[in-house]
Structure 1
Amino acid sequence: MSAFPLRLSPAAWGGLALLTATVMWGAAFPVSKAVLADMDPISMSLWRYGIAAPIFMALLAWREGAAAWRLEGQGWKLLGLGTLGFAGFNLLMFYAVGMSRPEFGAIVMALQPLIAVLIQWARSGQRPAARSFVALALAVVGVLLLTTDGHPARLTEHAALLPTLMMIAGGMCWVLYSMGAAAFPHWSPLRYTALSSSGGALGLVAFWLLAGVFGALRLPSAAALPALAPALLFLVLLAAVLAVLCWNQGMRQIGAQRGLLFINVVPLTALLIGVLRGHALGNGELIGAALVLVSLVLNQLGGQAGAKPSSILRPALATPK
């Protein structure tokens, strides 16, 4: 029986990579919630990327050689971008969720594509296509319906200005990190991931030491570690290593503005997990899920026009030619 290789366009492969990343991140929300009962956000983030960054560096040396570890004079830029993406986003988001509700985090994540469009518009002076604004509007409305089941008044039940501003700031950190990959066009996604996450891990170490001085750390007891081990392994291997590799690969393939719209898969995944746990979907949630899916399809179709058919996309770990 003959085998037929799967041939997809680069945009399709990029979309598949982004879908994988956002599904992992969507699953990470309920997993993280359980871990945060025993561990503060700084320690949890440092655990994730303090392990993930060396894994990325080892993969980079294996695939591209140790010479790929060279910073090429970009050390400070990588430190800044990594700190924004891996320290800024995680710390601001998880501390804010602890002060309010996880639903607010999902809503702010839905605003990331809009933030990217506005930043790019300000940088280039070129107005985005009308399709982009329609897709963004559908995504935001869809996530609002998802997180409130069609009752927007629920947003004000436990709302507070400070956590909302923290979430917005965290979302902006991730947008800037994702867009920062464009400054390294000759680097593979793996190289950008490895070197920027190492910068982010250094930033997290600095925050962790500072928090320790002020007694703001909370670590699990030795007795609690065996029960937490599966969750911690998931957060490192799947929600950090696999997800970030797929994210940067997908962003390279289809671009930051279109790629960031996939962030709306995160609340969809969280919703699906709730269904598997026995949560009955309301009409508002069903409509919201449909709108998010339509926004993703609309955004993806907009990028397919004029795209050339391409051979199979090299995986994220492939050595650049």
Structure 2
Amino acid sequence: MSSQKSAAPLPPALAASLCLALATIIWGAAFPVSKLVLADMDALSMTLVRYGFAAPIFVALLVWREGTGALRTEGATWRLLGLGTLGFAGFNLLMFYAVGMSRPEFGAIVMALQPLIAVLIHALRSGSRPAARTWLALALAVVGVVLLTTDGQLSRLTEHAAVLPTLMMIAGGSCWVLYSMGAAAFPTWSPLRYTALTGSAGGLALLLMWLVLGAAGGLRLPALSALPALTPALLFLTLLAAVLAVLSWNAGMRKLGAQRGMLFINLVPLTALAIGVLRGHPLGYGELTGAVLVLASLALNQLGAAKPGRPVATPPVVLATAK
């Protein structure tokens, strides 16, 4: 009688890398989809629709998997509200409004600074100097994204450049870094629980902002006749880009750690480029070189993976600024 062997589980670092890659690939695809939706509605309304529907899904999944007891905040209500506001309101609103004032290329380049922000925050908190390999990986990533988004034509960086939207993008990127690091303050919680409770808090913050801006007449809502055409895009942005991607991101960050995991954010512009190529966009030499450098930065980053059996250290969080 033959015995069947169960498939060996993936190494933790590989599983985490796949989770982060899945999340950033989905987010890369979400950029052109978001552009279509933003033609009919403002960024705050779009973000509220996404996470207004995603938050109840997070909660339902949490209750199903871990029971109603997992809904307890354990005295961390204000911290969860702060992190949720940073992650689900701060990043999305600052980035989308800033891109509307500038160019999408600047958004992609500023996103490439998020790993550097994470390394600097970790260095300030821990007092330890990052390894030379880390700095090299970050440099390759930043140069790669600049080439990727400009196709090597650096003169594009001076077109429509402005200080305010650039600062808004940096603030939004910092929001996402701090939200990602925030999970370290809840080491006994599952990624699903952290996502559900911060997502609910973020959805509440978005609703309050929406009511205030609506009262001030600052909203732009789609006509009823446009809703059937917008529904597929909104479903993608909600179910995949909000629910699946955020859950995958938090799961990957929990295992890999913020300092190494943040580098995967650079797959977002790479995915956007791949979608453009599939739609007939010719691949330039600058874009190709940039894509290679981004992938090389990820490979170099993985050379610093923790040895089997050693847990990956994740820096503690002190909630001091916005995501």
Return the alpha-carbon distance in structure 2 between the equivalents of residues 242 and 276 of structure 1. Answer: 23
Counterpart position of 1:96: 98
Kept after mapping to 2: 8 A contact 1:9/1:309: no
Structural mapping, 1:178-197, within 5 Å:
178-197=180-199
SS class of match (2:224): coil
Structural mapping, 1:17-36, within 5 Å:
17-36=19-38
Counterpart position of 1:296: 298
1:280 matched to 2:308? The reply is no
Return the alpha-carbon distance in structure 1 between the equivalents of residues 207 and 80 of structure 2. Answer: 15
Counterpart position of 2:309: 308
Kept after mapping to 2: 8 A contact 1:92/1:170: yes
Partner residue of 1:212 out of 186, 209, 214: 214
Return the alpha-carbon distance in structure 2 between the equivalents of residues 91 and 205 of structure 1. Answer: 13
SS class of match (1:302): coil
1:226 matched to 2:239? The reply is no
Return the alpha-carbon distance in structure 1 between the equivalents of residues 6 and 109 of structure 2. Answer: 41
Return the alpha-carbon distance in structure 1 between the equivalents of residues 214 and 194 of structure 2. Answer: 30
* More divergent stretch after superposition (94-103 vs 235-244): 94-103
Return the alpha-carbon distance in structure 2 between the equivalents of residues 159 and 214 of structure 1. Answer: 29
Q: How far does residue 307 in structure 1 lie from its aligned partner after superposition?
A: 2.4
Q: How far does residue 308 in structure 1 lie from its aligned partner after superposition?
A: 3.0
1:199 matched to 2:201? The reply is yes
Q: What percentage of aligned pairs have identical amino acids? A: 73
Q: How far does residue 4 in structure 1 lie from its aligned partner after superposition?
A: 5.0
SS class of match (1:7): coil
TM-score, normalisation: structure 2? 0.94
Amino acid aligned to 2:309 = K
Structure 2: where are the runs of 5+ without partners? 312-323
SS class of match (1:223): helix
1:86 matched to 2:88? The reply is yes
Aligned positions, number: 309
Kept after mapping to 2: 8 A contact 1:11/1:303: yes
Return the alpha-carbon distance in structure 2 between the equivalents of residues 309 and 257 of structure 1. Answer: 16
Counterpart position of 1:114: 116
Return the alpha-carbon distance in structure 2 between the equivalents of residues 207 and 128 of structure 1. Answer: 38
Counterpart position of 2:12: 10
* More divergent stretch after superposition (5-14 vs 281-290): 5-14
Structural mapping, 1:23-172, within 5 Å:
23-172=25-174
Return the alpha-carbon distance in structure 1 between the equivalents of residues 282 and 6 of structure 2. Answer: 41
Q: How far does residue 309 in structure 1 lie from its aligned partner after superposition?
A: 9.2
* More divergent stretch after superposition (295-304 vs 224-233): 295-304
Deviations 1:254-295 (A, max 9, x none): 000100000000000000010011000110000000000000
Find runs of 4+ consecutive structure 1 residues off by over 6 angstroms.
Answer: none
SS class of match (2:305): helix
Return the alpha-carbon distance in structure 2 between the equivalents of residues 142 and 231 of structure 1. Answer: 29
Deviations 1:160-184 (A, max 9, x none): 1111110000000000100011000
Q: How far does residue 217 in structure 1 lie from its aligned partner after superposition?
A: 0.5
Deviations 1:203-249 (A, max 9, x none): 10111111112111011111000000100000000000000000000
Return the alpha-carbon distance in structure 2 between the equivalents of residues 252 and 226 of structure 1. Answer: 38
